Amino acid sequence: MDAASLEMPTTNTGIELNAELREAAAEEAAKHDVSAALHRSDHLLGYMLSVDPNPALVVRGYILSGSASARQVVSLVEDLGLADRSFRLMEFAAGYGRVTRHLKSMLPRALYFAADIHPEACAFLSDEMGVVARLSSADPESCDVGDGYDLVFATSFFSHIPDVSFGRWLRVLYDSLAPGGYLMFTTHGAAVIDSAPDFWNGLLVGGAGYGYHPFSDQADLPVEEYGTALTLPNYVSAQISAHLPGARLMSFTSGAGTPSLEDEWVVAKPAQASPGSAG
C-alpha cells in the first residue's frame, strides 16, 4: 500500500457484476478449480475496482491473491501437524470468500468455520462456499464466534485495528481456541514502511511502535473502529504479553518480500489453563 492509494473510498453502493467481470472470474477460478462466485457488496473487491482501470485484471488478481493467502495457511497447518487429522478451523474476518474459496478444498479434513461482521458476507460464505458462517460484531466483548478451535487465523484484520481494541480482539480470538490451539494473525509491520516511508513513518507516535490512519477499504465501517494500523514487533509483542495469558509465541515471520508485506504471528495456547488465566 502506498500513500497515493490511501484515499477515502466512497460508500459502496454495489459492484456491477457485468459480463466482463464474471468472465474474468470464471477464467481465473477455473485455473484453481474454485468457485467463481462474486458478491456485489464485497467492499474489498469494490475498492480494488475503484482504484484500478482494468476490472478484468482486478478480478483475476483478487482470486489469485486469495490462493496465495490460502497457501500461507496450508503451510502453517502442515508445520503444526494438523493436516493429517480432522481439526476445527476458524477464518475470522473472512469477507466474501477471497481466501475461503481456495482453502476449503486445500484442507479437506478441516471442519471449516468462518466469521465476518457483514450479514450478507456470512450468507454468501454459507451458500456459495459451503462453510459454517458466524456473524461477528463491532464490539469485541459482544463477539461470539464459538470456541474449541484448533486453529484460528485472521489475515489482514489486525492491520486495520486501532490501539483501543487491538488487544481486546486478540483476546477474543485466543479465548475461542481449544486448549493447545493456535492463533495466526498478520499485521502491518516494518516491511511496509519502505513502500511509502513518509506516510508510514508519519503514523508512528512516540516509541510504542504503533500508528493509525483513519482509512480502510471497508467504507461502511466507522474509521475509528477499522482503519489502517502500523504495528511494529515491540507493540505486538507487548499486546500478546498483556492480553493473552499463558500464550507462547510460536513464530514471527517478517512480511519483507511477500506480496502483502504483512508480518505473520503465530501464538499457541497452553494445553492446560495457566494460573491467572481467568478474566
Task: Report how far residue 32's alpha carbon sits from residue 247's, in angstroms, rounded to the nearest whole number.
Answer: 36
Per-residue confidence (pLDDT) for residue 274, from 0 to 100: 53
As given in the structure block, the three cell numbers for residue 241 are 504479553
Instruction: Check: CB of residue 131 under 8 Å from CB of residue 88.
Output: no
C-alpha cell at 54: 482494468
Cα torsion angle, 56, 61, 64, 70, sign: negative
Among 88, 96, 105, residue whose Cα is nearest residue 146: 88
3-state secondary structure of 17: coil
Rg (CA), the chain: 18
Q: Which of 258, 248, 229, 230 is nearest to 75 (CA)?
A: 258
DSSP state of 141: G
Helix, strand or coil, per DSSP, at residue 93: coil
pLDDT at 226: 96
pLDDT at res. 269: 98
Q: What are phi and psi of 200, to 5 degrees?
A: -65, -45
Residue 273: what pLDDT?
63
Instruction: Give the per-residue pLDDT at 12.
Output: 47
Half-sphere exposure of 96 (CA within 13 A, CB side): 16
pLDDT of residue 3: 36
Per-residue pLDDT of the chain (279 residues; tens, 9 = 90+): 443 344 434 444 589 999 999 999 999 999 999 999 999 999 999 999 999 989 999 999 999 999 999 999 999 999 999 999 999 999 999 999 999 999 999 999 999 999 999 999 999 999 999 999 999 999 999 999 999 999 999 999 999 999 999 999 999 999 999 999 999 999 999 999 999 999 999 998 888 999 999 999 888 999 999 999 999 999 999 999 999 999 999 999 999 999 999 999 999 999 986 555 444
Q: The domain 66-268: what is its CATH number?
A: 3.40.50.150
pLDDT of 4: 36
Give residue limits of the domains in the chain.
66-268
